[in-house]
Amino acid sequence: MEKLDIQKLIFLALFLGLTVLLLVIFSPFFSTLLWSLLFYILINPVYQRCLKWISPKARGYTIYQNVLAALFSLLVIALIILPFFFILQGAFKQSFQLLHILEGFVKKSAKGLSFRPDDPLVQTIREITFNAVDLSKIDLPKTIISFLRQSTDFLFRFSTQMVRNVTNFFITLLFMVFTLFFLLLDGKYLLSLFMRAVPLNRELLLVFVNRFKETTRHLVTGYFLVALYQATAAGILFYLFHVPAFLLLALLILFFAFIPMFGAAGIWIPVTVVKLLSGDTSGALLLAALCTFFVSTVDNFLRPLILQDRIKIHPLLIFFSILGAIQYFGFQGIILGPMILIFFFAALDIFLEQYQIPHEKELSEKEP
């Protein structure tokens, strides 16, 4: 009996060691696998519907299945990733133009940005801070110009690195096509293999996996697609009204869309204010009206229409999960942060159901 237990422990240690080695081998392709898994979760339902057009018993079904999987994999790259890559490149180029415009504006407005010792604002801040802060001694234009030039240097280094990594980018795309292709073909088998390997109750694990997939789809359609719509609509309006760096501003709206209270308005309102101060009153007012309707107001009924209370993750949590994950994992944190958040809430829901802990609505109904 003891001999059998020792053999089991040795085999378990061997299995864990091999698992660690396997993770080390796959670690260079972690980003590729992660993005492929996300796109697989999103497009697999459509792929499965298309498979039903032909009976599995029909001649040539295997060829049809392979061709369809290859077509879906290539379409994801051609319609989603490549356009985003070129938009990102354009936004970086426009960021140089924007920084140059801002530097020229600061130089022209140097007198207006400087403070005199007898200014009421300077005296008020000096009194509040007990003479610790004296705005009259701060060369604000010089500080702003120095910051803008440092930002330009950073963008130049980053864009140079991007150009050097273009080859690696397209190699990664090729790997992603292959990974997504085989996930579409053998996703069910890989899922069953994973469920057999994980030492948890099969029914519980199946509920967890299904809830994770559903939440991921709802998160993408309810938040990311709405944010993408807002960024696209705002980018088109900025382009039509000749706003500098319209691609960069549209990308900023893509991130600001997750911030409660501010949202996309946190970008387009300052843009319209700058346009108003530049003397284009009619253009600024028209741009503000169009952004209010087509960008911000649409969000108020479009997102509830898509979600319909299917997901209960606050957008502020999504925003901070993206920022925190980017700090730890780099660019892939854009998707890794929300996915970890989804994992947590899927596990939390199952935990509450297993231990029969009432939800917030049930608790409020029981209160006198």
For 297-350, the pLDDT digits (tens) are 877 777 666 665 566 677 778 778 878 887 887 766 777 788 788 888 877 877
Q: What is the mean pLDDT of the chain?
A: 77
In a domain, 2, yes or no: no
- Which of 197, 183, 81, 103 has the alpha carbon at shortest distance from 147? 103
**270 vs 223, residue with greater confidence:** 270
Give domain status of residue 21, yes or no: no
Helix axes 140-164, 82-108, angle to 10 degrees: 160
Note whether residue 86 is domain-resident. Answer: yes
- Both 56 and 164 in one domain: the answer is yes
Same domain flag for 85 and 223: no
The reply to whether 171 falls in a domain is yes
326 in the same domain as 220: yes
Count of domains for the chain: 2
Asked whether the predicted pLDDT for residue 211 surpasses 90, the reply is no
Report the Cα 52 to chain-centroid distance in Å. 32
pLDDT at 362: 47
User: Which of the listed residues 170, 197, 224 is the one where a domain comes to its end?
Assistant: 197
- Residue 159 belongs to some domain of the structure: yes
Do residue 347 and residue 230 come from a single domain?
Answer: yes
Whether 158 and 92 have beta carbons less than 8 Å apart is answered as yes
3-state helix, strand, coil in the chain (%, to 5): 85, 0, 15
- Whole-angstrom distance, CA of residue 297 vs CA of residue 264: 10
Give a yes or no: residue 40 inside a domain.
Answer: yes
Same domain, 170 and 208: no
The 10 Å Cβ neighbour count of residue 201 is 11
Count CA atoms within 13 Å of residue 239 on its CB side: 11
pLDDT for 109-151, tens place per residue? 656 566 677 777 667 777 777 766 666 676 667 777 777 777 7
Identify whether residues 172 and 272 lie together within a single domain: no
Look at residue 190 and tell me whether its pLDDT is greater than 70: yes
Please tell me which residue, 33 or 170, carries the higher pLDDT value.
33
- SS3 category, 165: coil
- 227 lies in the same domain as 87: no
Tell me, yes or no, whether 125 lies in a domain: no
| C-alpha dist (Å) from residue 334 to 165, 247, 252, 340 | 19, 19, 14, 11
Last residue of a domain, one of 197, 223, 253: 197
State the pLDDT confidence band at 286, using cuts at 50, 70 and 90: very high
Q: What is the pLDDT of residue 359?
A: 54
Task: Please check whether residues 93 and 223 belong to one and the same domain.
Answer: no
| 236 shares a domain with 178 | no
User: pTM of the entire structure?
Assistant: 0.68
**Distance between CA atoms of 224 and 354, rounded to whole angstroms?**
31
pLDDT at 260: 65
Is residue 48 located within the same domain as residue 176? Answer: yes
Q: Which of the listed residues 197, 214, 232 is the one where a domain comes to its end?
A: 197
Residues 6+ apart with CB under 8 A from 238: 246, 249, 250, 271
Q: What is the pLDDT of residue 367?
A: 44
Chain-centroid distance of CA 149 in Å reads 28
The answer to whether the beta carbons of residues 346 and 211 sit under 8 Å apart is yes
**193 in the same domain as 203:** no
Structural domain of 82: 29-106+152-197
Based on the fold, state whether residues 75 and 208 are members of the same structural domain.
Answer: no
- For the segment 25-65, what is each residue's pLDDT rounded down to a tens digit? 988 888 788 888 888 888 888 888 888 887 777 777 788 88
